[in-house]
């Protein structure tokens, strides 16, 4: 009996130890589940980044495919246009050849005309000089004629005096005749005595008769001479008038020849300018002919390139379709991954005996379910599945909607609940609109343009779920700054506080499921600031009597090498960032501040 009780007690003790072990294992497992939340949120962030990136790739590929379809028309039109241009250029080249021949003929004609004009100009100059000489001679003849007329007029005046002399002679002859008659009468009366007087009277009569006859002859001759002189005077007047008129006409002719000479000079200059212009035109025609040939060659080359581009565009069209298909497959993989992860988290949550509240695991489940729902919409646009718009438009049917209609009403403040409810409903409404556009309206382009708003609304819902999870755990930061961390070195304490803030920022980015781009940016800042901090810290203790300089420097170098290597591996996609990463950073920094750094603080204060 005693042995039985002893055995029973031993079994009970063994059972109790086993229960304690199981409880410890359960606690450790729950701790792992809790820490696993960070990885799940990182996974959610990567899935969201994948969805966003895949959607952008699909949208751009879709837009490019549409553009490619229009390119074919453009290429065809461009090819036809270039063909017409080539034909026009051929016609232009032929016209230029014809024009060149005409220009050469024109140039030859202009050269002949220019030579003729130059000759005319020379002849005009010569004739102008001759006419000027003729004008001078006309002027001299006019002057001589004027002088001759003056002499004739003077002679005419003298002849008039001779007439008066002849009248005197006639008068004397008449009187002599009368005297001779009286003498004859007296001689007759005197008889013999008067015979000598009769002789004288006879001589006087003969003298009177002779004088009268001579005076009459002279008068006739003078009258003839006067008539000739008057005719000469009239002729001289006419000649003078003719010479005057000739002088006037010669003067006008001189002016005309002078104008002709000037005009001939201008024509000669114009001819030279025309010849230069024709020469330039001939050169331009040759240049245009050469350019036309080059353009024609370029046109053919462009046509060949367009044909090549058409061929490349067809290949690119095929590649874009492949990219779009691969993006759709990537989206499908994301959908399968989220669904698989949701199943794993659901099992772990059942193991935790979780309540209906939003704990970290349930938040991760809802977020991943939500992302899976978004990937379904993306899959519809990618043409891999078909979904009823009414199903996606029902914001009460998804798990998140059911939670909002149930436990969420009482576990969330009214204002926060209303915002979350409205954002969730708006997201489903946008999803229904996208599917309707794609299926019913057959307008894939508008459906693609509407998808980014769905992603934006989805991110708002994810952020709200994360905020609810943080509220439920009360763990909004990884490290809370404490006076225990201070070294009484203001500059170093400020830098330590900045490093704590950067680790908390990295932790928050992980909790919120931010993508690798955000995590990479925070990690870059953390690595850079750590190097700056270590540099400032080393300047301080190297200038002091601090005995642990070498070991401290080695710790700094080892930590920088570790985080630099991690950063390189993270950027290369070799590692992921999770709770173990931020825990490592937290533990190292706090141990370093409260341990190693306190060793030099008293030497630099």
Query: How high is the pLDDT of residue 548?
Result: 92
Distance CA 66, CA 61 (A): 9
Domain range summary for the chain, segments of one domain joined by +? 354-474, 483-604
Task: Note the pLDDT of residue 4.
Answer: 47
What average pLDDT is seen over the chain? 75
Which range, 75-89, 155-169, 225-239, 377-391, has the best average confidence (pLDDT)?
377-391
CB 213 within 8 A of CB 169: no
Predicted confidence (pLDDT) per residue in 117-175, tens digit: 677 667 667 766 766 676 677 677 667 767 776 776 677 666 666 667 667 766 776 77
**How far, in Å, CA of 212 to CA of 206, rounded?**
10
Q: Residue 265 corresponds to which tokens in the numbers above?
A: 């000079």
The alpha-carbon radius of gyration of the chain (Å, integer) is: 68
pLDDT at residue 374 is higher than 80: yes
Q: Is residue 464 scored above 70 in pLDDT? A: yes
Q: Which CATH code is given to the segment(s) 483-604? A: 1.20.120.50
Least confident of 80-84, 530-534, 580-584: 80-84
Amino acid 178: pLDDT? 76
The residue behind tokens 């060659």 is 297
Q: What's the pLDDT tens digit per position in 468-498?
A: 777 776 666 788 899 999 999 999 999 999 9
Three-class SS string for 509-574?
HHHCCCCHHHHHHHHHHHHHHHHHHHHHHHHHHHCCCCCCHHHHHHHHHHHHHHHHHHHHHHHCCC
Checking if the pLDDT of 383 tops 70, the result is yes
Q: Is the pLDDT of residue 234 over 80?
A: no
Confidence of residue 321 (pLDDT cuts 50, 70, 90): confident
Instruction: Give the tens place of pLDDT for each residue, 67-88.
Output: 666 666 666 766 676 667 666 6
Q: Is the pLDDT of residue 221 over 50?
A: yes
CB 595 within 8 A of CB 555: no
Query: pLDDT tens, 5-33?
Result: 565 666 667 666 665 666 666 556 555 55
Tell me the C-alpha distance between 479 and 482, whole Å: 9
- Quote the pTM value: 0.52
Over 80: is that where the pLDDT of 66 sits?
no
At 35, the pLDDT band (50, 70, 90 cuts) reads low
Q: pLDDT tens digits for 251-297?
A: 776 676 667 767 667 766 766 777 676 677 667 667 777 776 777 67
> Residues 327, 57: contact at Cβ < 8 Å?
yes
Between helices 516-542 and 597-604, what is the axis angle to 10°?
Answer: 40
Instruction: Tell me if 270 sits within 8 A of 118, measured CB to CB.
Output: no
Higher pLDDT, 501 or 33: 501
Residues 6+ apart with CB under 8 A from 543: 604
């Amino acid at each position: 009996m005693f042995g039985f009780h002893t055995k029973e007690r031993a079994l009970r003790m063994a059972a109790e130890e086993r229960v304690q072990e199981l409880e410890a294992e359960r606690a450790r497992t729950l701790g792992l589940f809790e820490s696993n939340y960070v990885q799940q949120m990182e996974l959610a962030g990567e899935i969201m980044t994948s969805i966003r990136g895949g959607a952008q790739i699909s949208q751009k590929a879709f837009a490019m495919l549409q553009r490619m379809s229009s390119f074919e028309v453009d290429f065809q039109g461009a090819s036809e246009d270039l063909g017409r241009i080539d034909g026009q250029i051929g016609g232009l080249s032929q016209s230029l050849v014809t024009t060149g021949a005409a220009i050469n003929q024109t140039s030859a004609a202009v050269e002949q005309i220019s030579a003729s004009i130059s000759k005319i100009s020379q002849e005009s100059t010569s004739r102008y000089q001759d006419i000027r000489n003729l004008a001078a001679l006309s002027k001299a003849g006019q002057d001589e004629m004027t002088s001759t007329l003056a002499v004739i007029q003077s002679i005419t005046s003298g002849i008039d005096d001779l007439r008066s002399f002849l009248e005197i002679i006639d008068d004397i002859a008449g009187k002599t005749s009368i005297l001779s008659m009286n003498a004859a009468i007296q001689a007759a009366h005197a008889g013999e005595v008067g015979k000598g007087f009769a002789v004288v009277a006879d001589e006087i009569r003969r003298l009177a008769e002779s004088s009268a006859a001579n005076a009459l002859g002279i008068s006739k001759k003078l009258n003839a001479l006067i008539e000739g002189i008057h005719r000469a005077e009239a002729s001289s007047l006419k000649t003078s008038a003719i010479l005057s008129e000739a002088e006037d006409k010669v003067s006008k002719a001189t002016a005309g020849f002078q104008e002709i000479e000037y005009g001939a000079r201008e024509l000669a200059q114009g001819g030279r300018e025309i010849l230069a212009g024709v020469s330039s035109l001939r050169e331009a025609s040759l240049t245009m002919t050469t350019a036309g040939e080059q353009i024609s060659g370029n046109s053919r080359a462009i046509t060949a390139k367009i044909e090549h581009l058409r061929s490349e565009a067809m290949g690119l069209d095929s590649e874009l379709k492949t990219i779009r298909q691969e993006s759709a497959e990537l989206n499908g993989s994301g959908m399968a991954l989220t669904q698989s992860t949701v199943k794993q988290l659901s099992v772990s949550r059942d193991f935790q005996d979780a309540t209906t509240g939003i704990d970290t695991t349930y938040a991760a489940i809802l977020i991943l379910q939500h992302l899976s729902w978004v990937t379904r919409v993306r899959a519809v646009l990618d043409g891999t599945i078909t979904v009823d718009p009414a199903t996606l438009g029902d914001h009460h049917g998804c798990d998140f909607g059911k939670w909002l209609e149930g436990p969420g009403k009482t576990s969330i403040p009214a204002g926060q609940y209303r915002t979350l409810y409205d954002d969730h409903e708006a997201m489903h409404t946008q999803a229904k609109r996208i599917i309707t556009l794609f299926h019913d309206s057959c307008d894939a382009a508008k459906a693609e343009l509407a998808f980014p708003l769905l992603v934006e609304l989805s991110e708002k819902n994810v952020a709200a779920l994360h905020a609810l999870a943080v509220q439920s755990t009360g763990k909004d930061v990884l490290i809370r700054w404490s006076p225990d961390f201070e070294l009484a070195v203001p500059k170093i304490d400020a830098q330590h506080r900045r490093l704590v803030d950067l680790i908390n920022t990295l932790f928050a980015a992980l909790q919120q499921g931010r993508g690798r781009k955000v995590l990479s940016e925070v990690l870059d800042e953390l690595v850079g600031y750590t190097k700056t901090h270590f540099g400032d810290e080393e300047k301080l203790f190297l200038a002091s009597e601090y005995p642990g300089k070498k070991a401290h420097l080695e710790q700094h170098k080892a930590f920088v090498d570790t985080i630099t290597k991690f950063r390189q591996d993270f950027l290369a996609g070799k590692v992921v960032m999770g709770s173990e990463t931020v825990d490592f950073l937290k533990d190292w920094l706090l141990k370093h501040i409260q341990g190693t750094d306190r060793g030099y603080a008293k030497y630099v204060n």
